[in-house]
Amino acid sequence: MRAITTAVLSALLAGCAASAPPAAPLASAASPAPEVRTITFDGVTYVLASVDVSRATTTNEYIPEGQSLKNWTTLLGVRRFAAARELNDVLPKYLGLIKPVLVGKPEFLKRKDVDASQEVMLVALLVAPDKSYHEYNLHRFFRTADGVTAYQFAQRIPRTGSASAIDPVIKRQAQRIRLLYDVSLPVHARQ
């Protein structure tokens, strides 16, 4: 699924860069991140495993200690779309790119007292290209002074033929959504 996520984001980023004005120098939200290479989220310690910097986007991926980008069970992602100014600069393109691997209809959640043009949570279930697992995703997209940022929580769900495999994930959805709203993740420009 990481291959899908990377390919989707690469195509998305190319579209954002082509349709937006050149990125301005990044301000506060993209200031050099403290050299924090581990993050604790939902009781799990994640380590920075990947940094990808393109023309207009920086992507960081964190995985649980002891896992690899090929065998992760959960993943935290941070994406800064510096060329995007509005959520609508990112979301329609992102949805179009993940459409071939979507399972069902994605759900958008709006936080009370926050305008949906400023922040939304996307809940989506994807299927791996080899169909060996599903990937449950929570994406918090929000505007900052220097672009659009997305925090992602992803969890692999083995395809067992039983719908009950997703039950434990759904039971923790509300808690993980709250955590994504509360967390502040650094963006690293180099690994």
CATH code: domain of residue 128: 3.40.1000
Cα separation, 184 vs 191, in Å, equals 19
Cα separation, 20 vs 78, in Å, equals 20
Domain count, the chain: 1
- pLDDT of 3 > 50? The answer is no
Cα separation, 66 vs 35, in Å, equals 20
Q: Is residue 189 part of a domain?
A: no
Q: Is residue 77 part of a domain?
A: yes
pLDDT digits (tens, 9 = 90+) for 56-103: 889 999 999 999 999 999 999 999 998 999 999 999 999 998 999 999
Please give the pLDDT value at position 139. Answer: 97
Q: Is residue 79 part of a domain?
A: yes
Please give the pLDDT value at position 135. Answer: 94
Q: Pick the residue with more confidence: 160 or 140?
A: 140
3-state secondary structure of 49: strand
Q: Is residue 157 part of a domain?
A: yes
164 band by pLDDT with thresholds 50, 70 and 90: low
% residues pLDDT > 70 (the chain): 79
Cα separation, 17 vs 90, in Å, equals 10
- Give the DSSP H or E segment for 150: strand 147-158
Contact call for residues 95 and 117 (beta carbons, < 8 A): no
Q: Is residue 190 part of a domain?
A: no
Q: Is residue 158 part of a domain?
A: yes
Residues, the chain: 191
Q: Is residue 27 part of a domain?
A: yes
4 band by pLDDT with thresholds 50, 70 and 90: very low
Q: Pick the residue with more confidence: 150 or 186?
A: 150
The string of DSSP codes covering 45-80 is EEEEEEEEE-SSEEEEEEEETT--TTT-SEEEEEEE
Q: Give the lowest-confidence range in 5-19, 29-43, 113-127.
A: 5-19
Most confident listed range (1-5, 35-39, 179-183)? 179-183
Contact call for residues 30 and 187 (beta carbons, < 8 A): yes
Q: Which domain holds residue 37?
A: 2-182
pLDDT digits (tens, 9 = 90+) for 129-151: 888 899 999 999 999 988 999 99
